[in-house]
Amino acid sequence: MASTSSPTPEPLTPKQMEQITYRDLVIFEERLRGNMVRLRKRKRKFEAFLATLLVLLCYFFYAVFVDPSKAFVHHLFNTLALLVVAGSLVFFYRSGMYSEKIVYAAEFLPHCNRALQSFNLQFSRRGESGELHFYPTVPKELADGYERYRRQYYARKKARAANKTKSA
């Protein structure tokens, strides 16, 4: 009777296993970098929103209490605007948006490094991006092999992007 099972795959060599590991690490690093950049952009957006609310709060406080308008309609508008801005500011803090959108983004790197510590890895910020680094306890050959793979990976990626722009 003929066997219907598929042939067993050839076992991977240690070199192939290293390449797979390095590729996975580069993909993981890109995902961490993407999350960091996304969180930083979101943090800046919400910081601008918070600053706008604070400026508006100061302006309407001044317009209502320090130099109130003589026209009843203007004074009523300024008072309502002050209440809306103050309510928005209270809502921003009480709803947890401040801690979720601003504080969490600032804590991303330390939180990430605490999680990576057990793997002898560290994610460090370099300019606008981030990179994975191995702790000194990791064999130097592994760290150097990863650095070489990362440079080759990004060189290939850059070449693909260049070819794509040439053909377009």
Over the stretch 79-123, which tens digit does the pLDDT of each residue have?
A: 999 999 999 999 999 999 999 899 999 899 999 999 999 999 999
DSSP H helical ranges for 62-139: 72-94, 97, 104-106, 108-116
2 within domain boundaries = no
Full-model pTM? 0.79
Report if residue 136 sits inside a domain. Answer: yes
In a domain, 110, yes or no: yes
> Total domain count for the chain?
1
Residues 26-83 have pLDDT tens digits of 999 999 999 999 999 999 999 999 999 999 999 999 999 999 999 999 999 999 999 9
Residue 156 within a domain = no
- Residues 148, 101: Cα–Cα separation, whole Å: 36
Cα(34)–Cα(157) distance, rounded to whole angstroms?
16
Sorted by sequence, the CB contacts under 8 Å of residue 51 that are 6+ apart come out as none
Q: Is 130 helix (H, G, I), strand (E, B) or coil?
A: strand
| Domain boundaries, position 53 | 15-150
pLDDT of residue 127: 75
